[in-house]
Each structure stands twice: as structure tokens, then as C-alpha cells.
Structure 1
Amino acid sequence: MKTLLNSLAEPTRWNIVELLKKGPLAVGEIAEALGLRQPQVSKHLKVLSEAGIVAVHPIANRRVYQLNPEPFQELQEWAESYRHLSEERFDRLDDYLMKVEKRGEEEK
């Protein structure tokens, strides 16, 4: 999980992942879309690949990258494990707002 989050924390890698959400792309297509040189993009793709975030498929002389869904499923499961914290806070907020509303009605 930590590797996934560290990999996505870098803005260029985040932008690459955002591009790949739309579908597989070759290194050159990613470089062009982001206005970067191909070696820069390849370096970031290597980090994403080592983290298991992307998979590479050689097609002729091109290397096409696509997102690997498993790390994102793990991230979603991890985030879900904290959902109860926000639900408890919303429940307390709801209780507070109901008390405020009740006080307002009593003052009328």
C-alpha cells in the first residue's frame, strides 16, 4: 500500500495514471499528451510498473501501458476500512444539527 501511495504522490506519475484511465497508451503518446520527453516518461513508467500500477505490453516496436486494476482495488478496500470514522462523525454532526434545530423551534 505504501509503495502505491508513494508512487502516486508524484504529480507526473499521477497525470500518467489519469491518462491511462481512458485506455492503454504507448510511451510516445503519453509523452506527447504531457509535453514531456520520452526518457522522462519511461522513468516514471518504470516506477509505476515496479509498484504494480501499470502493465506493459510490447506491440511490434512499441511498448503500450495500461492500468493494472488490482492495486486500485486494494486502495479502495483500505479506504473502506476507514469509512466508519467518517460515518461516526457524520452521525455526531447530524445529532448536533438536530439539537440546534430543536432549540430553534423551542425559542419560537
Structure 2
Amino acid sequence: MSKYMISFVIATMLLLTACSSDYESEMDEAFSSEKVYAEKENNVNLDEISSQTAVYRFGRHISISYVTGEKEVVGVYKRNSAGIYDRLENEDAVVGKDPVIRKVTIID
């Protein structure tokens, strides 16, 4: 029985590693899109301020949060049928939901 348990643990770890690497590239894609949006709409360079990127269940939604002046901006992206993330008009899709992965970038 311990052989099965060890095999199960190894398979689970491999699956989690594979999923997190997929989410990493998706988080980078959404962050790049939000970076363009932030520069255009808010005149902010996301590489120079602290931000938080969160992935929600099954990678359907990704949010990028940051503060500009006294205003908090939350850009929410939803994966479309082509696998590309489109920015939504508001953050309602993720309100009250817990992310499965969260990445915080702190810039001093």
C-alpha cells in the first residue's frame, strides 16, 4: 500500500508543478496586457510599482491589482475560446472568489 501512496504523491506533485508552470505564462501574458493598459489609461509603469497577480479556478480569470495615487486599480482578464485573455470592464467576475495562485511583486 505504501508503494501506491508514494506513487500518488509523486503524481500529484508532478501535476501541480505542470499546472503552476502553465499559470506562470498566463500570468505573464495578462500582466503584459495590463502593463499596456496602465500606461495608456493611467500613465503608470507597472514595472515601477507594487502589484499583485492572482489566478482563479482553472485559470479562467486572472486579476492584476495595483495602486495609482489614491486609487486602486483591478484589471480582470478572462480566457476566451481561443485561449487569449481579454480585459473585462469591471472586477465582478472575481469578487468574493479565492485565487488558487497569487504572485505579489513589491517595488521599493
When the two structures are superposed, what TM-score results if normalisation uses the length of structure 1? 0.31
Q: Who wins on radius of gyration, i.e. which is larger?
A: 1
**Larger helix share, 1 or 2:** 1
**Larger strand share, 1 or 2:** 2
